[in-house]
Amino acid sequence: MKGKLFIFGMLVFGICSSFTQRHSFQIAKVKYSGGGDWYANRTALPNLIQFCNQQLQTNIDPQDQVVELTSSDLYNYPFIYLTGHGNVVFSDKEVDNLRKYLEAGGFLHIDDNYGLEKYIRPQMKKVFPELDFVELPFTHPIYKQKYDFPNGLPKIHEHDGKPARGYGIIHKGRLVCFFDVECDLGNGWEDAGVYNDSEETRIKALKMGANLIQYALTN
């Protein structure tokens, strides 16, 4: 229950401020140090937001935000998204603030845009040294929200002939971080002309993204 306080506070604030705010809440992309392209997948979040607002009847601001992990603004976002291909480095302050954010009810989606995994794993180990990423079973609720994915993550792009895998960090029984590997989920949210993915592939990616949003807001 303690971990839910963050999200409950956000939703109540959105409702109570309905006369002055058009949208209930925002989601943000994480800007990090280390040289990796944190800014990748520029059209991904706006498209996911539009899909969720249409299909889940959420009221997310259509303009995605950028947030640094040291910023107090972090707590304004119930869902944050981290992606890229290269190096990631978290400072001690970022580690401390990210942990507090996740313990308070926030949710982090890490989208391995091919090449991120070897860098992000050690950084997340700094955030939760006592915990490891665990591969989530296909029966996990994150695959059973509005959209059912009986075989787990959809495969969006092929790189090494490996299956898409979904990992999580579970803190005190709650999934606080979801990490997709060998999937390129965010690429599937991009504008159709970016990768020329089929409409079927893009819809699968958006449906899985909607599951992440729905799960983050209700758990």
| Mean per-residue pLDDT of the chain | 90
Predicted model pTM: 0.91
In this predicted model, what pLDDT tens digit does every residue of 50-104 receive, in sequence order?
Answer: 999 999 999 999 999 999 999 999 999 999 999 998 999 999 999 999 999 999 9
In the chain the beta strands, taken as DSSP E runs, fall at 28-31, 65-68, 79-84, 107-112, 134-135, 165-171, 174-181
In this predicted model, what pLDDT tens digit does every residue of 111-131 receive, in sequence order?
Answer: 998 889 999 999 999 999 999
Residue 26 to residue 14: CA distance in whole angstroms: 10
In this predicted model, what pLDDT tens digit does every residue of 78-91 receive, in sequence order?
Answer: 999 999 989 999 99
Residue 120 · residue 32 · CB < 8 Å: no
Residue 7: how many other CB atoms lie within 10 Å = 20
Residue 213 to residue 27: CA distance in whole angstroms: 10
Instruction: For residue 128, give its domain range.
Output: 2-218
β pairing state of 165-171 and 174-181: antiparallel
Q: Which residues pair with 89 in a beta bridge?
A: 33
- Mean pLDDT for 159-168 is 92
Number of domains into which the chain is organized = 1
The CATH number for 114's domain is: 3.40.50.12140
Residue 80 to residue 74: CA distance in whole angstroms: 8
Q: For residue 77, what pLDDT is reported?
A: 97
